[in-house]
Amino acid sequence: MSSEIKITFAKSGTTLEWDPKFETLLDFAEKNGIVMDFGCRSGNCSDCVLDLVSGEVEYLWEPEVVPDEGMCLTCCTVPKTDVTLNA
Ligand code: FES
């Protein structure tokens, strides 16, 4: 199933349609060949943090580390709107 939400990976120059079958933005990126840093995959380490260039994300649970304004933890978020990430 697809959605109308577009995810743009700015550094990679790739825009893809978000597929809600993926649990997180990190999973979605990896399955589409976008290389992203990660560690715990559970909101505890912030290794997966990226600039959220535009758009809004939703946290699936309250992460241990709260990212600064304009950043997002890709291991525990899904997009709410079209999103551009600096990846
Ligand atoms: S991978 Fe550790 S917070 Fe996302």
pLDDT tens-place string over residues 59-68 = 999 999 999 9
d(CA 10, CA 75): 18
Cβ of 75 closer than 6 Å to ligand 1, yes or no, is: yes
Residue range 32-54: mean pLDDT, rounded:
97
pLDDT band at 85 (very low <50, low <70, confident <90, very high): very high
- 26 belongs to a structural domain: yes
Displacement of CA 62 from its chain's centroid (Å): 15
pLDDT tens-place string over residues 68-81 = 999 999 999 999 99
Q: Which domain holds residue 33?
A: 6-85
Total count of domains within the chain? 1
Residue range 20-48: mean pLDDT, rounded:
97
Q: Are 71 and 52 a contacting pair, CB within 8 Å?
A: yes
Task: Write the DSSP string, 9-30.
Answer: ETTTTEEEE--TTSSSHHHHHH
Three-class SS state of 41: coil
- 64 belongs to a structural domain: yes
- 80 belongs to a structural domain: yes
Query: Which CATH number do you get for residue 17?
Result: 3.10.20.30
How many angstroms does the Cα of residue 17 sit away from the middle of ligand 1?
23
- 71 belongs to a structural domain: yes
- Pick from 25, 59, 73 the residue to mutate for probing ligand 1's pocket: most ligand atoms within 8 Å of its CB: 73
Q: Please say if the pLDDT value at position 1 is more than 70.
A: no
